[in-house]
Structure 1
C-alpha cells in the first residue's frame, strides 16, 4: 500500500514559518532564476565615404532563462527496535532547482525483508525545524503536496510500528520516494531513500537530561535530572550512567539522589552505593546492577556555577551504557563487568563511550543548555569617571544638568557646551540599558510644554539611538562590564514657546534589560530667550522712501510693477533678523495665481539675482539682514490688464517669529510665436527625408486666423532640382498625410491654404499657447552627388501693426550621402557545440547550460564603399562566452567579454557577419 502527500499553500506557509530552510542567495548564485531576462544589443562603427565615423546599433534580442528542475532527498537511515516497537526515521527534502515546484511523497516496502511492515502503521510527518522529531501527531494526508520555492527545504519524519510477530535480528526496509510534479523539467523526476529497521529482543536503554533552570547566574546552583528507561524486552545488566562536567561548573558534594530517595549518594568510590565523583576527571559514574524491561529511573545531582563564569551557555550531555564492558577485551563472547571511572574519556561527546570498539551501545542524552547571566547593575549620571546611582553621593556630579536655551533652538544636554550624559555598566557582564524619558514634574520644576519633542542621540549629537534588542524601546546597545557610553538629549519646544520662570525639566531613565534596575538623571531648561524679524523691500530708485514695508506686515501692496506675459517682474525682499540669536526663515508664497510662476532667488555679493532658487533664507546672524529677488512671471497668454497681489510670508521654523509683505503685478499685451527646431539629415540621391518642427503661439492673442492676424508662409531651398513640400500635421501623427499639404502657386494662395489648414487644428488659427507640428519634406534630385547639401528655410510671418512680433523661421540642412550601413542581429538556441541553421529576431527561451547563438549582419545599403567597419558586441549578463564559437576565424575575436570583428571595407550591397555563442550560467 502506498501513501501520497501534498502540502497545501497554507501548510507550506506554516512550514516556512516553523523552520523550512531557504538557502542563501550565494548558494544559488551560479544558476539564474527561471524567468531571468538576458537581453543584448550589438553596435558597429564605420567610416562613410565622406570620412565621417558613424555608429549604428542592432535590434535588441532577449532570452528568458527557463526553469530547470533539481532536488535532493536525504538520507538512508538505520534503527533498532523491538517487536511491536515504534521507530522514527528522519529525512530532508530540498528544492535545488531554479524555480518553484511541488513534490509528491510515497512510502513503500523497499524489498522483501525477513519481516514485513504493515504499511497502514507507517506514516510521514512534517519536521519544520528538522530536529528529527515530528512536529505533531497529525500525519500528512494523501491529498497533500509539498510546494517548495527554489532553495527551500523541509524535514520529513517517518514513524513506523514493527509487527508483533517479528523476531530477533529480522529486518525490513521502508522506501520513501519524492517525485516532482513538473516532470518535463527533470532528467530524473524521483529520488528515494531506503531506511533499515532491525529487530532486537534485548535491552534498549534511553536517557534524557533536564535542568532545573534555563537561565542562572554565576555562583548559583543547577539541579539536573537524568531520566533513564529500558524500552526493550530484556533486563539490562551492568548499566552505567555517567557525565563529564564542563569546566564552568563544580559538582556539589554528595548531592546525587537516586529515583526520589531522600538519602544522598556519596561521592566516594568505597562506600558501596555504586556512585562516585572524580575531581580530576570532573566526572561521575553511577553503576546499576540491572534495569528491568519497561522500567524507569532517575538520577538527580547538583552543580554550582563558578563565581568567575562570564555570561555564556553551559552545554552538557549525559550517557547511559546498557551492558558494561568485557572482562577480557580480546574475548568478545566473554563475561562483562561494570564500567570503572577510569574507563571514561576526558570528553565523552564522540562515541563509542567508553573507548571500547566492541561496545557501541552507549546512548547519549539530549544536550542540556543553561544560560549563565552575569551580575547586572547600571547607572546614568553627569560624571564620566564615577558610576554613582540615585541616592548615592559623589564629588564628581550632582545628577542634575541645567541649560539656558534660546527660543526656537533645540536645547542640548550632554554636548560639549554642557555636562556629560553618561550611562555606566557597574556589573560584571555586558549589559544593555533601555533609555526613556519621564516627563512628569519633579522638585520645583514645571513640565515641558505640550508638543515638545525629546530625542536621545548618540555621543555625536546627530545620530538617534535605536532599539538594538527588539523590545521596542531605544537603548544604549551593549556596554561592556566596567565601561560607559555618552549620549546627548535634544529637547525641541514648540515654535514660539516660552517657559515658566522656575524652568522645566524631564528625567532620563536608564533601565537594565537584564534585571529591570532603574536609575535617572535630571535635565532642566532654566530659561528661553525670544527672537524677532522684519521683512522689507529695498527701492533705491525712490530716494524719498528707499525701504518699503517696515514694521508689521500689511495686506496692501507696497510696490507695484507692470510686465508682459512670460516676462518676469523682479522685486527686492530683505529679511532683517532683529532678534538676538542666529535664525533661519521659511519663505512661502500663499496666494500665487493659477499658472503664474513666483519664485525667490539668492542675490550675489553685488546685489544681482542668481539662478539659485530658495525656500529658506538660510542662517542669518542676529542684527544682520539678507536680501533676495522675488521673481513674478505671468504665464504666456495671460490677458492684458490682468493684475494680482503677490504676498510673501516668512516664518522661523525654530522660533516661530514671522512677517509678511505684499506686491502687485499687472500684465501687458504680448504677441509672440516660436518655430523650432532646426534639423539636419542625410539622404541618398533621389531619396526623401521628412523633418518635424513645432509652431507655437506663445502670445496672449489669437494668431493665424483669416481676419484679425493672419499668418504668411514662405520657404526656399538652395540645391538645384530639390523638391520641398510643407505639411500642417493636423492629426499629429508625424506622417505627411493627404489633405495636410500647403498648396498654391502664388504667395496669396499658399497663405490662404495655410489659414484653411490651421483652422482644422483646434478652431480658427492658433489660440494662446496652442502648438502645431509642421512637416518639411525634402526630395533630393536623382542626379545629386555625394557631399552636396541643401538648405531649406521655412518662414512664418505675423501680420498687423499692433505689437507685431518678429518673423519666425527654421533651417533644415540635408546632405547627399552614398554610403549607408545597416545592422541586424538575430539569435538561435541550441545545444552547445551544435550550431543552429535558423536564426530569428523574436524572443526565445533557453535553459541553464544551453547556448544562445548570435549572428550580427552589417549590410552596406549605399552605393559606395564603407570603410573602417568594425562590428562589436558584448557577452550578456548570466552567460559566458562559448569557446571556439566566435566567427569568422581568423578575423573576429573575444576578450574580457567584448566581441569584435574588424571588416575594414564593406562594398555596396555586401554583407559582413559576426557570429558567436554564449552559454547560460548553470
Structure 2
C-alpha cells in the first residue's frame, strides 16, 4: 500500500465514523410536536408512614428544529474520497445525506467544482436507491431530495464523465452541498472528493447490502463488486494464507460491529470468478483457506481473485446475522492490487444497512436489559431490593404496607414512540392487592396518546425512563411465601407503534409478613333467643418486632346481652414460653370489651399467640336485634391495635375481623 493509499483509508474511515456518530446523536432529539408532560412529587414521613404528594402536570410542546448532515466530509487538502479513473471513464462518488432535525424536511442539492486540471462533464446527482454505489437504470437524477423524516437518510451519488483528453495525473476536486428547504440557514458544505486520472489499472469497488433494511436478529447479505476500469491489467498482491504466500487481487472485509454481536453465517462466503476464499479470527492479521468450525469466531472475511484484464469484473458475497444496536450500520471493504510496475494500490468502498428495532425493554432499576448482577439497593420506604437478571425482589413486606419497586424502561429501538405500562396477566397477586405506576420522582403515569393505557410519554431512541411500581399489600393478605411461588407483580411494557412487541420484568415480594393476626370463632352457626354463645378469639403478633401499647377490642352486637364471662389476667403464649397480662373492661355505651396489655410497655412479643374467651347470651326478643334483614343475626367485630417500630419509624397498626350468627 502506498503512503497516499494509507492516508485515503484513514480519511474514509474517519469521515464515515463521524457520519455514523451524527445519526446516533440525532436520536436524542425530540420530534417536533412532541408533548412533554412533567410533574413534581414530594415524599415525607409522618408518624412512621411514608406519604407522597404530587403536583399538577405541566405540558411543553417541542417546536421544529431543522438540520442536515452529508457524509463523508472533506476538503481539498483532505478529501473525503479519492478515486483513480482512466480517461473517458464515468466517476461515481457515494454520499449519505441525513435529516438531523426533528421535523420532516427536503434538501436542495448542488455540486461545486473546485481546483481542477480537467473539467468534469455532465455532472449530476443520482438517488442511489439500491445503495450499491453505482448509477443504475431507473435511478433518477435529482436536485432536491424527497421528504425525509427525522433521522432518515438517503444515499446519493455524484456522477460525471472524465474527458477522453485527460492525461495521467490530471485531477478535479468536487464538493457536494446541501441546504434545508424548510430553513435556508441549515446547510452542509465541505464534502469534497478528488478524482485522479490514471492510465494504469484501476479497480472500482462498490459494496451494497441486501436488504437495505433488516430487522434486528435477521440476516443481511453483503455484496462486494469490483471492475478494472483502467487501461492495464490489474495484478494480484501476495498474501499469507495458512502461512503460505498466495497471489491474488486481495479483497477484505471485517465483520462490522462484531463486538456488538454481529456474526458471519456459516458457509455463506462465495466469489466469482473462483479464487481463494479466506477467513480470519483475528481481524485480518492471519488468514486461513479453511472455514473455522465455529463460524462465530470469524471476524473478517477475504477473497483472492485472479488477475483482471481491463473491463473484467469480480464479486463476492457473504451473509451476516445482525445483533448490533438499531440504526445505520456502515461497513467498509477494501481491495489491494498491483496497478502496474509493482505499484500496489488499495481501493475502498462503503456499504450501509439500516437495522430496525422498535422493541422497548424493561428491567430492574438501571438494568433495563435484564442483566442485573445480583446487587442491592434500599427503596424509598426502607426495603432492601435485590436485582438479579430481570428480577427485582425484596425478602418481605408486611400486610397493610406498600412495597415500592423501581424499574427502568429503555427504548433500544430507532422509533420514537410512547411506551405503555401495564400489569401482565402472569401476575399472581390475589384480589385486594393494588398496583400503581408513577414516574420515579414524579407523578402518576397518564395516557398521553389516548389509547386507553397508561404510558410514560414519548420515549426517544436510546432514552431511559425510570418508573416506580407501588405494590400495596392488603391488611388481610395471606401470609407466607405463597407455597414457594412468592408474590409477583409482572410488569409489561409495549411500544404504542406496535403493541405486539413487548417486554416483561418481575417485581417480587418473597414473603408476606403480618403484625396482628386475629381469628374469631363462635361455638354455633345458629342460635335461639336467649341462648348462650361462646366466642373464642385468638390473637398473634406475626411480625418480627414487639408490638407496644397493645390493645385488643371486641365490639359486641346489640343483639347480645351483657357478657357473662370475659377472659382477664394472665394470657399464656401458645407458641412457646412466656405470658402477658391483660386488663379487661366492658363498656355499656358501645357494647364493647377492651383488653389493655398491662405487662411492662404494653408489649406483645414477636410470635406471641394468645386466646381470649367471651360468653354472652342472645337477646330475648327479635325487636332487640341490631341486624334483622335479610335474616335476624348477631355480628361481632374483633380488632387489635398497637405500635410497631420497623426501619423507617414507628407506625400504629390496626387489624379487624368479624363473624356472625343467624
TM-score where L is the length of structure 1 = 0.25
- Bigger strand fraction: 2
Which has the higher Rg, Structure 1 or Structure 2?
1
TM-score using structure 2 length: 0.33
